[in-house]
Amino acid sequence: MAILSLIKTPDEFLRKKSKKVEEFDARLGLLLDDMSETLKKAHDGIGLAAVQVGFLKRLFIVDYGGEYIEFINPEILEHSENKLNYEACLSVTGREGYVKRPRKVTVKWQDRFGEFHERQFKGYISYVIGHEFDHIEGVLFIDKLVEKPKKNVTEAEAE
């Protein structure tokens, strides 16, 4: 496995929309393995999209409590109301902030073998999935930043 180089802003490659994965072969498996290794190396990262490492493929991985879930050709089927979440990104250095994202999502995706899965995710992982899904659409979290709430204001009040 290899550590892949991260593409960082202001590189416009991050703004490109990714293409559907058609071939589920050994090369795809190698890319996923390399992305997992890259994410492990980036100690503060919990999600990584293929576009962030130079591949315009509709796929991303997330660290779900030590288990890496590989989302290939993901579709968000349902989502709940939005909640503020504090975000940063491995491809956007020096910027952090609040973004409104669904606190619950139902996702349909394929795994590295092309098998379909569908599952509902709640809480923090739903925010990570939303963040990574935006990457494959060519959208960065900095495009969605909202004003930081004042001290002692709950997230619900800030919405």
What is the DSSP track for 23-53?
--SHHHHHHHHHHHHHHHHSTT-SEEEGGGG
Name residue, tokens 């409104």.
Answer: 100
pLDDT range class, residue 45, cuts 50, 70, 90: confident
Give the per-residue pLDDT at 28: 98
Give the per-residue pLDDT at 42: 83
Name the pTM for this structure: 0.89
Our answer to whether residue 81 is catalytic in this structure is no
Residue 66: partners with Cβ closer than 8 Å, 6 or more residues away: none
In the chain, where the domains are located: 12-158
With contact defined as beta carbons under 8 Å apart, do 48 and 33 qualify?
A: no
State the chain's mean pLDDT as an integer: 92
Per residue in 47-71, pLDDT tens? Answer: 999 999 999 999 999 998 888 999 9
> Which of 22, 87, 118, 132 is the catalytic position?
132
Per residue in 98-120, pLDDT tens? Answer: 999 999 999 999 999 999 999 99
Fold of 12-158: Peptide Deformylase (3.90.45)
